[in-house]
Structure 1
Amino acid sequence: MQSPVPNIVATIGTRGSPLALAQAHEVRARLARAHAIDPERIAVRTIRTSGDIIQDRALLDVGGKGLFTKEIEEALLAGDIDLAVHSSKDVPTFLPDATWLSAFLPREDARDVFISHKATSLETLPAGAVVGTASLRRQAMVLRLRPDLKVNVIRGNVETRLRKLAAGEADATLLALAGLKRLKMEDKATRIFEIDEFLPAVGQGAIAIESRRNDDRINAFVTRITDPDTEVALTTERSFLALLDGSCRTPIGGHCRVSGETIHFRGLIISPDGKEWFETTREGARGDAAKLGTDAARELRERAGEKFFTLFGGA
């Protein structure tokens, strides 16, 4: 006898990459546990985004990181899905007025990793070696540490990038440790960078849930699984980002650590060639998260001057 179709209580929209699906299913599992329901009652719908389709150019050349969320947000606004699951670092600085980030899962390790079959670290790569990455931030930070290296664009999901590395398209690459952990591939990391030596992207390691502001049922549904510390950290980081740059054309790093009632933030802006950078830190009360992030961004904007952002394609 055929099993009855479960009564669907919510539909999740996500990209179709293995990592995106792993994140969507983690959200589904947490929601199911929190509400004591069968996970099958929460549907997962894959949506192909422009960022998945365009693989031969850097994101900054074709519209920025919003290409990974645009079609999913359109489905959310149209009511085709009830909530969207994103990697927080892929979420644009500014969302449509009708949506908001309604929940965050506990943050995974935010650090970057170095991967190579030819060297044990970025420092031991030979001069002229090629580092493949799609991230302008990673490019800039690699060149700051090793101006004698070359950086080429490598796009694609985690598995695709690792295949390209194995095929010799680059001598090394850099990825987020969080993604490798969620895919149970952390053994692929040759070396893990510490936060202080290689500042992560804003939101790195955090899974965000986007929903419609006026959807009280879904907002109450997802709030049950939100992690308060991650929400505070992302509030700080995204406030920092908002005042600096709404796109991915200026390399920006930012990371907030939450310790009880205190937050510790570090932010960085850097030129794409890694030759010029400005960084700052903040410490304060978690209730002042947005204020601290904005204040840090204001300091860097004043120190760098508007010429910095004009030269390097910023806001």
Structure 2
Amino acid sequence: MKELRIATRQSALAMWQAEDLQTKLQNLYPNIIITLVPMVSRGDQILDVALSKVGGKGLFTKELEVAMLENQADIAMHCIKDLPMYFPESLDLYTITESEDPTDAFVSNKYDHFDQLPQGAIVGTSSLRRQSQILAKRPDLKIEFLRGNVGTRLGKLDDGQYDAIILATAGLIRLELQERIKHKLDTHMCLPAAGQGALGIECRIADTEIHKLLAPLHHVDTAIRVYAERALIKHLEGGCQVPIAGYAQIENGKISMEARVAEVDGSVVYIEKAQSDLTDSYEQNVIIAEKMGKDLAIKLVEQGADAILEKLKADL
């Protein structure tokens, strides 16, 4: 192989992620030319409507996938939390890189901590997951719609449109905007989205040579956690913009996971937790992780989570 082409969205964060991947691959394979293929996704163009109402997560991946299917690019780097559960027939997710901090970040120019927000303060987010968990703790707050790339969202905060906004910690760290983080929301208060902080590389199933090139970048522990979290979403049939949270951790040879489904107004929050021993086999651990995610989804449905999700689907 003489050249490897990386499809990427043109947002600052997506470009950072693609350029970081480009550097890592170039260091591994100095004799291969690693190039970027920037493009604008429909999700980047539609900024005034919730994603759930215009096509969901696939809006961020479709153009990149078409580029691979039409041989205009070889691989694509994605935020795992933005990935749909299913891929086009000839494409798949082959590499999951080491995760950055998966938490949500409290960002404000007025207040140093979430607990300092006064009654009726305006908080910006377009995530129903964040909204539902924030309102469960503080039903007095006013949640207002906020979309756009990281720079756009920070600009709206700086213009005084919000008292605070909630962003992914990982994105701010990657863009070297850590100074904007007042504090990271405790996962007990705001459990992360499935796959938050992790990045994945999609490519053609037939390109086995590329699979081998990507293998050194695959991070085993992150992948096992991501498979657990995505299994939860898959079995709850949760698309984009649903109030589902899933967070898995690996420690001392065990995987533990917490999952939540909540009413959008925070009036009801269903919670399930699980823990399991891991083995020395990566393949077996993936099976264990995916079973954990599925089992938690089943338990949430038994509590009543399916009624919440079905009601949301009916409203779309």
State the TM bucket, normalised to the shorter chain.
Answer: over 0.9
- Of the structure 1 ranges 272-281 and 116-125, higher mean CA displacement relative to structure 2 is found in 116-125
Tell me what 1:289 maps to.
289
Asked if 1:89 is matched to 2:78, the reply is no
Residues of 1 paired with 2:310 and 2:290: CA distance? 25
Number of residue-to-residue matches in the alignment? 307
Written as runs of structure 1 = structure 2, the 5 A alignment for 1:40-51 is 41-51=33-43
Residues of 2 paired with 1:14 and 1:168: CA distance? 32
Q: Secondary structure at the match of 1:313?
A: helix
- Runs of 5+ in structure 1 lacking a partner? 1-6
Residues of 1 paired with 2:303 and 2:207: CA distance? 42
Counterpart of 2:13, as a letter, is L
The RMSD of aligned alpha carbons is: 1.7
Counterpart of 1:299, as a letter, is K
Q: Deviations over 1:74-118 (max 9, x none)?
A: 112222110010111111122222211100111111111101112
Tell me what 2:17 maps to.
23
Counterpart of 1:214, as a letter, is A
Counterpart of 1:184, as a letter, is E
Tell me what 1:11 maps to.
5
Residues of 2 paired with 1:285 and 1:260: CA distance? 9
Written as runs of structure 1 = structure 2, the 5 A alignment for 1:120-131 is 120-131=112-123
What is the TM-score with the length of structure 1 in the denominator? 0.93
What is the TM-score with the length of structure 2 in the denominator? 0.93
**Compared with structure 1, are the counterparts of its residues 182 and 306 closer, same or farther at alpha carbon in structure 2 (3 Å cutoff)?**
closer
Tell me what 2:56 maps to.
64
Tell me what 2:176 maps to.
184
Percent identity at matched positions?
36
User: Cα offset for 1:214?
Assistant: 1.5
Tell me what 1:223 maps to.
215
Written as runs of structure 1 = structure 2, the 5 A alignment for 1:69-218 is 69-218=61-210
Q: Deviations over 1:3-35 (max 9, x none)?
A: xxxx85210011111111111111112222233
Residues of 2 paired with 1:266 and 1:219: CA distance? 32
Counterpart of 2:3, as a letter, is V
Is the Cα–Cα contact under 8 Å of residues 129 and 241 in structure 2 kept in the other structure?
A: no
Residues of 2 paired with 1:249 and 1:225: CA distance? 29
Tell me what 2:265 maps to.
273
User: Cα offset for 1:281?
Assistant: 1.1
Counterpart of 1:293, as a letter, is G
User: Cα offset for 1:197?
Assistant: 2.2
Residues of 2 paired with 1:284 and 1:266: CA distance? 12
What stretches of structure 1 move > 3 A for 4+ residues in a row? none
Is the Cα–Cα contact under 8 Å of residues 238 and 244 in structure 2 kept in the other structure?
A: no
Asked if 1:303 is matched to 2:303, the reply is yes
Is the Cα–Cα contact under 8 Å of residues 236 and 306 in structure 2 kept in the other structure?
A: no
Residues of 2 paired with 1:25 and 1:260: CA distance? 34
- Of the structure 1 ranges 253-262 and 17-26, higher mean CA displacement relative to structure 2 is found in 253-262
Residues of 1 paired with 2:154 and 2:15: CA distance? 18
- Runs of 5+ in structure 2 lacking a partner? 279-284
